[in-house]
Amino acid sequence: MTRKSESIQDFRPAPAQPRGLRPLSRTRSLANSSHCRALGTRTPPALAVPPTPSAIPSLLALPALADWPRPSAHASLAKSTKSGTIDSLFPYIYYRAMGNCHSCFNLPCTKSNQSLPIDSRFIMSSSLPSSVSGGGFGKGSIDLGGLEVRQVSTFTKIWSAGGDADGASFFFPTSIPTGFYALGAYAQRNKNRFFGRVVVARDIAEDGGANALAAPTDFTLIWSSSDGGYFWLPVAPSGYHPVGYLVTNSPEKPSSESLRCVRDDFTDQCEEGEVELWSSDNNGGISIHELVPTVRGQRAPGLPPGTFIARKAGGSSGGGGGGGPSPVRCLKNKNFCLSAAMPDFSQINAIIKAYAPVIYFHPDEAYLPSSVNWFFDNGALLYSKADPTNPARIDSGGANLPQGGSNDGAYWLDLPASEDKERVKKGELSSAKAYVHVKQMLGGTATDFVFWLFYPFNGPGRLKVGVLTFGLGKIGEHVGDWEHVTLRVSNFDGELRKVYFSEHSRGEWLESPELEFDGEEGNKPVAYASLYGHAFYPRAGLVLQGSEELGIGIRNDARKGKKKLDAGESFEIVAAEHLPAAEEVVAPAWVDYMREWGPKVSYDVGDELEKVERSLPEKWRLTVRKLVNGLPPELFGEEGPTGPKVKASWEGDEP
């Protein structure tokens, strides 16, 4: 569906006005010319309330107007204005004075009708109900134990590189609240609508110790482009660390007042995230990644400041080259109560109803989810290694399941041994619900809502060979299948920031602008459950595990059928460890069942493959066998899966 958006000029504040220049007398500018596009805007923003000059990290000295040359290459621009006087070119002079921040003289020119997705801002269709905010959640600021942090979403675009598919833009925060300081620049890929947030901070410690923030003593230029982008690493005073870089469009060294470094005890080790924002081979090469804490989990104190890490290709440690330790840090929450900004029980319910995913099943899906209670009530059996021939029926709530311990192979579950077996395999969608685990993440500045779905049975794998598709017999089949989607919500403002789609052993995070939403005015992301395998994907289509080039691999087909599950209408909260005793969630007994939800299945993979190979041209047989043998073990379904609490992501972050 189409989401709301607005031009980036509508939300970017006015740039600082250089001394000696009067406000613009007309709105037509170089940006509106067919020759080139001013970065991030088509008309100069209003100058009614400009921010302080320190908000713009690089401001070039401006020659006298009479001495300003009129570039011959752009002399025709005067024709697009009312006169050919220097007054008619004043918008260009003003933008040039901003250090080419909005001029394309030192940047690749792009015609105005070739705007990038990042030039418009992503907006959720509807806001959260006002009742969601309250207490420490959603109030806009969080105390890290003497360092107050807020998120800001207003920026000035400093420099842009590349195009839609592979480019990125770099921003500096503006409209910073009084007393707060910027900590670094923000980067985002051009292919997505703007969704930027960075942390700004101020010192609120009352212990009389050293300031939590300090200005850098210097800046080190770690990389520059040939078209006007300069990347600076702050040099921190002793006992402090930088948590971000500064990006300018001028070779002049930035002012030390541009940002602040953070005291050591408020910082945490960090690393580059999996998402590469941008890279270049020019001038020795550089790669830009999102910055994430090295240790991530429910009890980990680290939080990302919203900045990035820049690594030079085989470069110096100052640029984070060679894959060594990051020269910039993440922030650390020193507050003894990490959960101070977490949502309470009523807020949790409101957020689930507002953002819970809508899960669509393939039209041909034969193995649908059910509730755990339905599975137990319809004959599921508990087996024990000590007495494997005498299984026990399971209580509706799982009260007779062994509790705690580890997955030691002593117990497992299975389908009914009666004629109900095939019926139970198919599940019962009308009984199904999402089991929600609410997790404190990123030093208590974010909340993860993990939506678990249970399937009584996982169907067989399917092999694609060119235009042909073959069933893989028993390969991929197993009893008891747990899959999940995770929503990450900001504790600063209650906004949905990211969604994680589990895809077999791994998965992927997508930010909100990259999601498909259900309906025209809703905030509920769509998740597609793949045919038989039930992996979650953000888009309908075919995902091939194998060789795209050869067209050979395991099929993961996702389509929007008529059957769906709105997790906001059918859910049960099974854990929220941060809640106080008065709001404590009592988990069903089955949550603490740590063994397998299905039996170990024994079959000969070679025999199953031979059945398929008989139908294949001989030239493909060896290729198919190598591909299948190299697939992750969980795709073969030989081992029964474990429940949600056994997964590493129950305490930690998503893999």
H/E element holding 411?
strand 411-414
In the 8-state DSSP scheme, what is residue 624? Answer: H
What percent of the chain stands above pLDDT 90?
64
Instruction: Tell me the sheet residues that pair with 491.
Output: none
Q: What is the pLDDT of residue 359?
A: 99
Q: Which of 111-120, 127-136, 156-165, 621-630 has the highest mean pLDDT?
A: 156-165
Per-residue pLDDT tens for 541-566? Answer: 999 988 888 888 889 999 999 999 99
Query: 58 with 72: CB under 8 angstroms?
Result: no
Per-residue pLDDT tens for 514-545? Answer: 999 998 778 999 999 999 999 999 999 999 98
Structure-block tokens of residue 18: 């250089």
Q: Flag whether pLDDT at 97 surpasses 80.
A: no
In whole angstroms, give the CA distance from residue 177 to residue 202.
10
Q: What is the pLDDT of residue 633?
A: 66
Higher pLDDT, 402 or 38: 402
Unique residue bearing structure tokens 């299905």 = 598
Amino acid letter, 499: V
Q: Flag whether pLDDT at 106 surpasses 60.
A: no
- H helices within 357-444, ranges in order? 372-377, 421-425
Query: What residues contact 465, with CB distance under 8 A and at least 6 apart?
Result: 551, 552, 616, 620, 624
Unique residue bearing structure tokens 């992927």 = 508
Per-residue pLDDT tens for 617-629? Answer: 787 888 888 877 7
Of the listed ranges 1-15, 316-330, 627-641, the least confidently predicted one is: 1-15
In whole angstroms, give the CA distance from residue 1 to residue 525.
11
- Bridge-based pairing of strands 462-465 and 552-558 is antiparallel
Q: What is the pLDDT of residue 273?
A: 92
Longest dimension (CA), the chain: 97
pLDDT category, 130, cuts 50, 70, 90? Answer: confident
H/E element holding 543?
strand 541-547
For the chain, the 3-state helix, strand and coil shares in percent, each to the nearest 5, are: 20, 30, 50
Strand, coil or helix: 50: coil
Residue 634 burial (CB < 10 Å; 0-12/13-18/19+)? middle
Q: What is the mean pLDDT of residues 209-236?
A: 95
Per-residue pLDDT tens for 233-281? Answer: 999 999 999 999 999 999 999 999 999 999 999 999 999 998 899 999 9
Q: Flag whether pLDDT at 314 surpasses 80.
A: no
Q: What is the pLDDT of residue 90?
A: 27
Of the listed ranges 277-281, 456-460, 610-614, the least confidently predicted one is: 610-614
In whole angstroms, give the CA distance from residue 356 to residue 322.
41
Determine the distance from the C-alpha atom of residue 479 to the mean position of all C-alpha atoms in its chain, rounded to a whole number: 32
In the 8-state DSSP scheme, what is residue 379? Answer: T
Q: What sign does the CA torsion over 411, 413, 419, 421 have? A: negative
Query: 483 with 507: CB under 8 angstroms?
Result: no
In whole angstroms, give the CA distance from residue 24 to residue 90.
7
For 330, phi then psi, to 5°, come to -90, 170
Which strands sit side by side in the sheet containing 286-293, from one edge to the other?
A: 270-280, 286-293, 308-312
Taking all residues of the chain, what is their mean pLDDT, rounded to a whole number? 82
In whole angstroms, give the CA distance from residue 94 to residue 22.
9
Per-residue pLDDT tens for 178-194? Answer: 999 999 999 999 999 99
Q: What is the mean pLDDT of residues 69-80?
A: 29
Q: What is the mean pLDDT of residues 365-381?
A: 98
Which strands sit side by side in the sheet containing 213-214, from one edge to the other?
A: 213-214, 261-263, 240-241
Per-residue pLDDT tens for 320-339? Answer: 445 578 999 999 999 988 89
Q: What is the pLDDT of residue 447?
A: 98
Q: Flag whether pLDDT at 7 surpasses 60.
A: no
pLDDT category, 69, cuts 50, 70, 90? Answer: very low
In whole angstroms, give the CA distance from residue 630 to residue 616.
19
In whole angstroms, give the CA distance from residue 609 to residue 8.
55
pLDDT category, 131, cuts 50, 70, 90? Answer: low
Per-residue pLDDT tens for 9-64? Answer: 333 433 332 222 223 222 223 333 333 333 333 333 333 333 333 433 332 232 33
Q: What is the mean pLDDT of residues 587-611?
A: 87
Q: Is the pTM of this model over 0.85?
A: no
Per-residue pLDDT tens for 496-517? Answer: 999 999 998 789 999 999 999 9
Q: What is the pLDDT of residue 165?
A: 83
In whole angstroms, give the CA distance from residue 175 to residue 210.
27
- Bridge-based pairing of strands 246-248 and 261-263 is unpaired
Query: 185 with 101: CB under 8 angstroms?
Result: no
Per-residue pLDDT tens for 471-482? Answer: 888 888 999 999
Side-chain half-sphere exposure of 258, counting CA atoms within 13 A:
26
Q: What is the pLDDT of residue 208?
A: 66
Q: What is the pLDDT of residue 168?
A: 98
What percent of the chain stands above pLDDT 70?
79
H/E element holding 609?
helix 605-613
